[in-house]
A and B are shown apart, each in its own frame.
Chain A
Amino acid sequence: MSRYYGTTVDDIFDTMPERFQPQEAKDVDVVVGYECGGEGGGKWRLKVREGAMAVEKVEGDLGPCTATVFAADAETFIGVTLNKIAALDALTSGKLRITGDASLLMNLLPRIFKPYRVPGPAPVTARDIVAGMADRFRPDKAAGVSLKFAYDLTGEGGGRFTVAIADGRCRVTEGLEKDAAVKMTMEASTFVGLMTGTMDATAAFTSGKVRIDGDMGAAAATGRYFDRYVPPDAPRVEELLSLKKVTSIDQRFATGPVMGKWFAGLRERKLLANVCPVCRRTMIHPREVCASCHVRAGEYVELGPEGYVTNYDLVYYASPDPLTGAVRDTPYACAWIMLDGASPEEAFAFEIKKEDLPRLKIGSRVRPVWAEKTVGSFRDLLYFEIID
């Protein structure tokens, strides 16, 4: 047995000329000897001089070398080359030995040769994966579904495709059809990453690697109607199951007399704060005590209703509203608002009218917009809008 980690010692030396980087070896003049014991081993001599290299298998003596590497067996040599075995461990155990200039091996060789990679089949392309979609289609999961979606996959191995699902059939065609419900644009390599599971879909979307034009829901649903893509060379592995479960325990949160007063204020379209009797700061929403002064705060004042934005961010990721369970429309602003009459640094966070987001800036004057019917809930406040 002379194959380890999917390759042989011979292959490592045979690929040296193509891995050589002459521009890195201009002023180099070294001879490195290699001696690998056991089956699949042998002796090799590498000469690098003035931007050129030559490697040859040697039968007899290696002759004078700048440095020589001795490996006890092929497994050690291949393992260390591929970093599957730590060189330090191999040196400590005596399975690897170096004579001569050891620093040369550690510093120079990694520079003048690209790392060795185990030969594998040609990498799968986005085009291959899309072409196989019709075969992976699951009519049982797409019963009654009529959906057309398109991929614009840029770069090498990509292309433009339209996938149409209708009447329990799936058809993949080249080109972008205009009536597709959604178009997903990304680099072909991103698509391959998503399909082979090396890239996370949510992360790819939120980081802007994937652009979705059209129906977001349709885009999210596309995976449902197909078996997962499995690369043709994927090793057969035992499936590890994971458990999907929602842990849900209904809660009834008390508001208590302090928060309760605040909610009652919202019903009256008032933004109430309570005031610390010691430091006079205004707390909105009101709290049982002033945390700085450790005293109850029983006096209430109405703030605003207008104020100005002291800080904000824009949220693009999907985030459910805990009060309704519905996913918020994105992007939305989480704006910190200094309401008129509030003490310094006691800002109040709320959303900004969606249409106003493009002109939102720190310092914008805003006023609250209330629901038509107020019931004493957080949602009595719809949003703040910018005052021109």
Chain B
Amino acid sequence: MTVGVGKKRVAICAVAQLKNDPDLWHTRFQGMLLEILEDLQRQTGFRYGEGGVEQIVSVSDDFLDARTISNNGVQDVLGGQYLAEEKMAQEGLNAIGYANAVILSGHKDVVLIMGHCKESQGESRNLITNCGFDPFYGRAVGLDYLNAAGLQARAYMAKSGLTDDHLARIVARSRQWAAKNPYANARETLPPGKVKASPMLCDPIRQLHAYPVSDGAVGLLLASEERAREYTDRPVWITGFANAMDAFFFGDRDLTSNFALKKAAAKACERAGIRDLKGAADVVEVMDCYAYQQPMWMEGLGFCGDGEGARFIDEGGPGKYRVNLSGGALAGNPMIIAGLYRAVEAALQLKGEAGDHQVPDARCAVAHSTNGPAGQFHSVLILEA
């Protein structure tokens, strides 16, 4: 399937996000989502049912929510009663890919996407991601997403020349931008020296190289080209989306190859009719849960050559290509919707509504997400104004 310029298009009409917080102990998922929903309704005046939102795609995770069929718990608030509702159990950026397909197929014209997650609810998100491995071997050897990232960090640092110093600078820059983003979780600025002095979590990953425990919720209203103007004067167009999966078994993977991300990026560009993403993108939002991932994912997206992540940082790549002006995932988004937050940020930039971190005249934005241990699965979304 190729969806390119001149064909049917799908618009992101409106976005809403909850301020990411280390511990939203005072509200249930339902309360978090309700704020998002009412924000979207204020922006667009959308209604449920025939002629309005007829389908909802929710995003949540059973293990993180600690209840099976986690979407059932929030149906009331999402408006799912009596309507079509499906849950994206993958990282939330894929909900946009799914809603895009629903609309392009002509099945529905207006789709609401709602994602929520509270990493603070469980005693440890590492225990939860440990359950992402098989019970016999992966869990037993103590693998979790942080541990997996530690292995990838060391391998990638060796390949690219990335140092502890680079990582400290990446974190410090993330915090500088997060300070301008009212929705970011960790907004206090941090000098690189403080990052380098933070304790090791999983050598070479230090505590401040890892994204903070975060609670949050996001929502988006998508519509077909014919219907988009009913909801917004500034639609943002989905021009390319793709995802790709690498091997699950760790021993089968080259952790530094960016295999899945390169595939996803190439496919998304093909769909968007973009030959050179580096030249086309005005803004990039990558899901960098750990500092080393920012240059590594930028490499996978083609913004620097193979193994040139350190040089990319040294030459000011993140500033030049306007990477993660929201503060990125490093400033704190819950893992299952961190990519959805990327899309929300990218859409705000293209709408000209990104506030203090707005890029002038942004026309094309890239939102990226990853899930699974050490970037097993990647998704790439290309948006255009």
Interface residues of A (CB under 8 A from B): 243, 245, 247, 249-259, 287-292, 294, 296
Contacts and interface: CB of A to CB of B under 8 A. Distances in A.
A243 B136 contact: yes
Interface stretch (B8-16, B116-124, B154-162, B290-298): B116-124
DSSP majority for the B interface?
Answer: loop
B193 interface: no
Contact of B30 (A247, A249, A256): A256
Interface stretch (B72-80, B181-189, B377-385): B72-80
Contacts, number: 70
A290 B30 CA distance: 12
Contacts of B82: 292
Contacts of B120: 252
A245 B128 CA distance: 15
A107 to B, nearest CB: 48
B34 A288 contact: yes
Contacts of B135: 243, 245, 247
Given A249-B66, A256-B28, 8 more contacts: A245-B135, A251-B121, A252-B121, A254-B28, A257-B31, A258-B31, A287-B76, A289-B34
B24 A254 contact: yes
16 contacts: A243-B135, A249-B123, A250-B123, A251-B123, A252-B120, A253-B121, A254-B25, A254-B27, A254-B118, A254-B121, A256-B27, A257-B27, A287-B76, A289-B76, A290-B76, A296-B34
Contacts of A250: 122-123
Interface string B59-100: 000010010000000011101111000000000000000000
B28 A289 contact: no
B66 A288 contact: no
A256 B31 contact: yes
DSSP majority for the A interface?
Answer: loop
Q: Give the interface centre of A257, A292, A294 by most chain B CB atoms within 10 Å.
A: A294
A288 B76 contact: yes
Contacts of B81: 291-292
Q: Give the interface centre of A245, A253, A288, A296 by most chain B CB atoms within 10 Å.
A: A288
A288 B123 contact: no
Query: Lowest 10 CB-CB distances: which A-B pairs, in order?
Result: A256-B28, A291-B76, A250-B123, A291-B81, A288-B30, A256-B31, A256-B27, A249-B127, A251-B66, A249-B122
B26 A257 contact: yes
B30 A287 contact: yes
B321 interface: no
A287 B127 CA distance: 30
A247 B82 CA distance: 35
A71 to B, nearest CB: 45
Contacts of A253: 28, 66, 121
A254 B32 CA distance: 11
B79 A252 contact: no
Contacts of A247: 131, 135
B37 to A, nearest CB: 8
B31 A249 contact: no
B28 A255 contact: yes
A222 B216 CA distance: 50
Contacts of A296: 34
Q: Give the interface centre of B63, B79, B80, B81 by most chain A CB atoms within 10 Å.
A: B81
A88 to B, nearest CB: 39
Contacts of B127: 249
A253 B73 CA distance: 13
Nearest to B125: A249
Contacts of A245: 135
Contacts of A291: 75-77, 79-81
A269 to B, nearest CB: 24
Contacts of B136: 243
A249 B124 CA distance: 8
A243 B136 CA distance: 7
A259 B123 contact: no
B118 to A, nearest CB: 8
A262 to B, nearest CB: 12
A250 B120 CA distance: 11
Interface string B96-138: 0000000000000000000000101111100110010001100
Contacts of B26: 254, 256-257
Contacts of A289: 30, 34, 76-77
Q: Give the interface centre of B24, B31, B63 by most chain A CB atoms within 10 Å.
A: B31
A294 B79 contact: yes
A292 B76 CA distance: 8
A289 to B, nearest CB: 5
Contacts of A294: 48, 79
B131 A288 contact: no
Contacts of A255: 28
Nearest to A245: B135
Contacts of B63: 249
Q: Give the interface centre of B66, B82, B128 by most chain A CB atoms within 10 Å.
A: B66
Interface string B18-42: 0000001111101100100000000
